[in-house]
A and B are shown apart, each in its own frame.
Chain A
Amino acid sequence: MIEVEALKKYFSTGILRKRHIKAVNGVSFQIEQGETLGLVGESGCGKTTIGKSLLRLIEPTGGKIIFDGIDLVHLKKKELRRIRPRMQMIFQDPDASLNPRMKIEDSIAEPLKLRGGLNKVEIKEKVSELIETVGLNPEHVNRYPYQLSGGQNQRVALARVLAVNPDFIIADEPTSSLDVSVQAQILNLMQDLKRKFDLTLLFISHDLEVVRHMSDRIAVMYRGKIVEIGIVNEIFDDAKHPYTNTLISPASLEDQLIYEDIKDAGCVFYPRCPFAAEICCKKEPEMVEIGRGHWVLCDRVT
């Protein structure tokens, strides 16, 4: 359904805008129809940048994004707008991503109005249907986001997304600002909706346990690169990349505080890797397949 090849996004910084931050540095993956791919990594590793690039909410520096056979990177603005309803995104902080001056009802109705083809009565009906689908009460429609809890606002965000009947949803840390018990409610709801509407999901999170629960396959990201990708059980039972292992059992991590500037040559994880050898700082490793669909970016594994 989605095919990403050598995706790159560089941000320019410095006074002369000549220094580049390689937020996403040559990332490739596919997501099958109906599948959930989990994307994990620490803050600043480029997960959100990937999510936004897929929708071209930010323009990628290079690479290919194919969605259902359509090349998104070279699409014109107008054509892009036609295709966007099929791909939607849910953001991290629901309190910040909803318009504080819009009633819940209007927030959910907005995408329906933009899509057109429905009259006022039909929109109203559709809104109450969506409200029910995401588990809100009818009395919530006349309230404002500040009158609802974080979990309820995230349900509103879900209703907005579902309003346009998407095929593919990018969920960017949808529960990281929620309490544990509310997180459970939202994650369960997302899984129900996924089944009901036959959705394909890219689930971005820094919480490995949450990703494990939600995904069919997991991609682990470190400093702009995917370092390991495979089906959930393989990643948890048979992780090969040293960084994946640190994420799974962080207790093994030494008190390492050095965060060196990235060098062009060598492995991205080299400065923190307990198994680093001389070759690791000289030659950039390549993705190798070590099992069925299980890829690792590490020269020491092979």
Chain B
Amino acid sequence: MSLLTITHLKVLFPTQDGVVKAVNTVDLKIANAERLGLIGETGCGKTVLGLSIIRLLQPSTKIEGEIVYKGKELLRLSEEEMRKIRGKEIAMILQNPTTSLNPVLKVGDQIAEAIQLHQGLDKRAAKEKAIEMLESVKIPSPEKRANEYPHQFSGGMKERVMIAMGLACNPSLIIADEPTKGLDVTIKVQIVKLMKEVSRRKSMLFITHDLGVAAEICDNIAVMYAGELVEYAKTEDIFKNPFHPYTRGFLNSLPSRGLKQIRGISPSLIDLPTGCRFHPRCDQASAKCKIDHPELVEIENGHFARCLLYT
């Protein structure tokens, strides 16, 4: 059974220049103990999708559709009820730890805050648990480090703190937003290893633009382009046999695969192209791609793509 079911999700931001259609009719399921990778480039809506699940978007945002978590419709919950789920049931590991951590609070206290709130422990017990969490993410001498401030930590270490904070209340679902962004290769390997370890037997939505990292961690992968999912399959199928021209182009633009570029740039989410959103950049586009908007259809067993080439 699926832990999280997203149906027909739309997220719209009204702005002065027009409505930004950040997420445009997304359907997605995450099963128990499934690690799903959400892949796409800057501005394709992947972070917004993550934030809409734990309802951390600004109030002016228009959200349509349904997000059902363990039988509860998250979008209908009151703020009070949502607060009980956020951090405890569903935790988000935000990107960019340097700005996500509070610079004037000791690291240990920041982790203890959530523990105190959700698990009803007193201050001292929460602090002890926080030190335990730091130890579990392999930060050396955690007792000492818990009393230090974020600026005393390196980038990789801060990322570990973010992970410890996310895991502090033992959530069933982790949303990790680009936890390896901006890290050195050697540090990245360590964080990937750690993410794999801590997400064992948990469900995770792993948001990234790094295909290598996603391949390492995820069971299934959803590829997002201009606010919608364009392909969904098991991780190995995405890499061995990508269907959608965008997925193929994305893979081929990796330096290790020959650096073949996709022409043009991603469309503005205010002024989306008609028909298939990818048609202006697609080498295989035909006349009908400009008019017909393709649906996400199952092409092979469990392998979905949104492309007129296959319909």
Which A residues fall within an 8 A CB radius of B?
42-43, 149-152, 179-185, 187-188, 206-210, 212-213, 246-247, 250-251, 253, 255, 257-259
Looking across the interface, which residue of chain A has its beta carbon closest to that of B190?
Answer: A255
Complex-state Cα separation, A246 to B190, whole angstroms: 12
Chain B residues at the A interface, C-beta cutoff of 8 Å: 41-42, 138-140, 154-155, 157, 184-190, 193, 209, 211, 249-250, 253-256, 259-263, 265-266
One of B41, B155, B185, B254 near A250 (C-beta < 8 A): B185
- B253 smallest CB distance to A (angstroms): 4
Q: List A contacts of B184 (CB < 8 A).
A: 42-43, 206
If A151-B265, A255-B193, A257-B138 touch, whether A183 touches B253 (CB-CB below 8 Å) is yes
Given the known A-B contacts A207-B255, A209-B254, are A250 and B188 also in contact in the complex, defined by CB atoms under 8 Å?
yes
Which 10 residue pairs of A and B lie closest in terms of their CB atoms, listed nearest first? A184-B253, A184-B261, A209-B255, A179-B41, A42-B184, A250-B189, A185-B261, A181-B253, A181-B262, A184-B259
Q: Pick the residue among A182, A183, A208 that contacts B185 (CB under 8 A).
A: A208
Chain A residues lying within 8 Å of B155, measured Cβ to Cβ, are 43
Give chain A residues whose Cβ lies under 8 Å from the Cβ of B254.
180, 184, 209
Instruction: Decide if the interface of chain B is mainly helix, strand, loop or mixed.
Output: loop
**Given A181-B249, A206-B185, are A188 and B41 also a contact pair (CB < 8 Å)?**
no
- Considering the chains assembled together, what is the distance between the CA atoms of A206 and B185 in angstroms? 8
Output the nearest chain B residue to A42 by Cβ-Cβ distance: B184
B190-A180 in contact (CB<8A): no
Max chain A C-beta neighbours (<10 A), residue from B42, B154, B155, B249: B42
> Which of B154, B189, B211, B265 is A182 in contact with, Cβ under 8 Å?
B265
Q: How many Å from the CB of B107 to the closest CB on chain A?
A: 15
Q: Is the CB of B260 within 8 A of A184?
A: yes
**Interface pair B250/A257, CB less than 8 Å apart:** no
A257 lies within 8 A of B253 (CB): no
A212–B261 CA distance with the chains assembled, in angstroms: 17
Question: Which residues of chain B are within 8 angstroms of A210 by Cβ–Cβ distance?
Answer: 255
* Smallest CB gap from A186: residue in B: B261
Q: Contacts A182-B265, A255-B193 known; list 14 others, CB within 8 Å.
A: A151-B265, A180-B211, A181-B261, A184-B254, A184-B259, A185-B262, A206-B185, A209-B255, A210-B255, A247-B186, A250-B188, A253-B190, A257-B138, A257-B140
- Nearest CB of A to B4, in Å: 27
- Cβ distance B22 to chain A, nearest Cβ, rounded Å: 17
| A153–B255 alpha-carbon span in the complex (Å) | 21
Residue of B nearest to A187 (CB): B259
Interface pair A180/B253, CB less than 8 Å apart? yes
User: B41 contacts A180, CB within 8 Å?
Assistant: yes
Report chain B residues within 8 Å CB of A208. Answer: 185
Query: B255 is contacted by which of A149, A152, A185, A213 (Cβ under 8 Å)?
Result: A213
| Bound-state Cα–Cα, A184 to B242, Å | 19
Report A-chain residues with C-beta under 8 Å of the C-beta of B250: 180-181
Nearest A-chain residue to B255, judged by Cβ: A209
Report which of B185, B188, B193, B209 forms a contact with A180, defined as CB distance below 8 A: B209
> Judging by beta carbons under 8 Å apart, are A253 and B260 in contact?
no
A179 to B225, CA, bound (A): 13
Q: How far is the CA of A204 from the CA of B68 in the complex (A)?
A: 47
Q: Are A188 and B261 in contact (CB under 8 A)?
A: yes
Sample (30) of A-B pairs whose CB atoms are under 8 Å apart: A42-B185, A42-B187, A43-B184, A150-B42, A151-B265, A152-B265, A179-B41, A179-B42, A180-B250, A180-B253, A181-B261, A181-B262, A182-B265, A183-B255, A184-B259, A187-B255, A188-B261, A206-B185, A207-B185, A208-B185, A213-B255, A213-B259, A247-B185, A250-B188, A251-B189, A253-B186, A253-B189, A253-B190, A255-B193, A259-B154
Residue of A nearest to B259 (CB): A184
Distance A212 CA – B259 CA, assembled complex (angstroms): 11
User: Which residues of B are found within 8 Å of A209, using beta-carbon distances?
Assistant: 254-256
Min CB–CB distance B18 → chain A (angstroms): 15
- Chain B residues near A188: list those with CB within 8 A: 259, 261
B262 with A184: CB separation less than 8 A: yes
How far apart are B15's CB and chain A's nearest CB, in angstroms? 15
Q: How far is the CA of A182 from the CA of B263 in the complex (A)?
A: 9
Q: Report Cα–Cα, A251/B261, bound state, in Å.
A: 28
Residues of A within 8 A of B255 (CB): 183-184, 187, 207, 209-210, 212-213
In the assembled complex, the Cα of A187 lies from the Cα of B249 at a distance in Å of: 16
Min CB distance, B195 to chain A, in Å?
13
Nearest CB to that of A210 among chain B residues? B255
Residues of A within 8 A of B253 (CB): 180-181, 183-184
A246 and B186 form a contact (CB under 8 A): yes
Could you tell me the distance between the alpha carbons of A56 and B227 in the complex, rounded to whole angstroms?
46
In the bound complex, residues from chain A placing their C-beta under 8 Å from that of B265 are 149, 151-152, 182
